[in-house]
Every structure is written in C-alpha cells, then in structure tokens.
Amino acid sequence: MYKPLILIAEDDQDDALMLKDAFSEINQNAVTFLENGKLLIEHLQKLLTDKELPSLILVDLNMPILDGRGVIKELKKRVETKDIPLVVLSTSKNKDDIESVFALGADDFFTKPASFSDLVDIVTIIAGKWLNTK
C-alpha cells in the first residue's frame, strides 16, 4: 500500500512527539521531522536529487534559523516544490499571522490544540484533505 511521505518542521520536541503519535493513530508513519525550516529545505533538496517528493509538508510558524514564512517563500518560488501541499501548524491565533501565511501561498493553517485527541482530529482532517488516504 502506498504510504505518503510527510515532512514536518517543528522545533519543539514535545510537539514533534505528539505529532508523530497523532499521525501514527491514523496509520501515517512515513513522517520525517526536522528541527527548523533550513533543515527541511536541505532535506527536501536531497529528496529532489533522488527524484522523490513528499506528499505533504507541515511547518511550525515560529522556529529558529528559518521560520515557517521563510519555508513557504522558499518552496513556493521553486517550480519543483510549489505544488506540494504546505500546511502551517502553529500556536498562533493571530489573524495577521494567519493571513500572512495564506498570502505567501500556504495551503492551510491550523492552531495547535491543547489536547492530544484534538490533535488527532486535526491530522485526520489534514490527511483527508491533502493525502490520498481514502
């Protein structure tokens, strides 16, 4: 069975672990975590060299070195990566933050929930919308 590759840039280790568990709950285990946007871009370059593309990229908005906005700008300007679904998952509920990531080309935005079950609901929505899991 085809398992989509998911790249996630998340600098908070606890959030990364919860996301890993949430994706496991919906049987999505081909998830690669990177600690910041710069590492995500570098990893993506290696995948492109091998002619592989992730099915989905999730980014945190506020990260060191290269934040979510920087990742969106970088990926949307490249022909080979501009069509990869890019979802922002952030603690921010700020309207300006949300509008800015959509203006840059993000495909979706979710605010990180307080509970694990809500996070599973969010990754279920993301998978249903952006991955061919049906």
What is the tens place of the pLDDT at every residue in 90-99?
998 999 989 9
| Segment 34-61 mean pLDDT | 91
- Residue 22: its pLDDT value, please? 95
- Residue 50: its pLDDT value, please? 85
- Residue 134: its pLDDT value, please? 43
Of residues 132 and 112, more confidently modeled: 112
- Residue 43: its pLDDT value, please? 93
Helix or strand holding residue 44 (H, E): helix 37-49
Q: Mean pLDDT, the chain, as a whole number? A: 90
| Segment 99-107 mean pLDDT | 95
6-126 classified as CATH 1.20.120.450 = no
What dihedral angle (degrees, nearest 10) is formed by the CA atoms of 40, 124, 62, 6? 0
Extended beta strands in the chain, E state: 6-9, 31-34, 56-59, 86-90, 108-111
Q: Rounded to two decimals, what is the model's pTM?
A: 0.91
Quick check: 3 pLDDT over 80?
no
Quick check: 129 pLDDT over 70?
yes
